[in-house]
Each structure stands twice: as structure tokens, then as C-alpha cells.
């Protein structure tokens, strides 16, 4: 998933969590933590 560097952390989190591929892996579970290193990586702890 490629996102603009102009987005803030909250916008990135919202877009990632709304992505259908991410939703497939979450399998209806709520993420406990979302770790964002802007411009690099997003990790989701379930």
C-alpha cells in the first residue's frame, strides 16, 4: 500500500484500517495497537 507523505498519522491509520486486505487479516478483531513510522512502515498489533 502506497500513501502520500503529506498525510498525518491519524489519516494514515484510518486509511490502513479501512483497507479491505487489512480487514481480511484482522478477521473482525480490533487492533490493540497501531505503530506508524511515517514514510516507512505501519504495524498492526491484534
* Residue 10 near residue 24, CB atoms below 8 Å: no
pLDDT single digits (tens) 4-39: 999 999 999 999 999 999 999 999 999 999 999 999
**CA-based radius of gyration for the chain:** 10
CA distance 13 to 8: 9
The per-residue pLDDT for 12 is 97
3-state secondary structure of 35: strand
In this structure, how many other beta carbons lie within 10 angstroms of the beta carbon of residue 12? Answer: 19
The per-residue pLDDT for 1 is 92
CA distance 36 to 29: 19
The per-residue pLDDT for 15 is 98
The per-residue pLDDT for 42 is 97
> pTM of this prediction?
0.85
The per-residue pLDDT for 16 is 98
Amino acid at each position: 500500500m502506497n500513501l502520500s507523505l503529506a498525510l498525518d498519522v491519524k489519516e494514515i491509520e484510518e486509511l490502513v484500517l479501512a483497507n479491505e486486505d487489512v480487514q481480511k487479516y484482522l478477521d473482525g478483531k480490533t487492533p490493540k495497537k497501531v505503530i506508524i513510522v511515517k514514510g516507512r512502515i505501519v504495524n498492526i498489533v491484534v
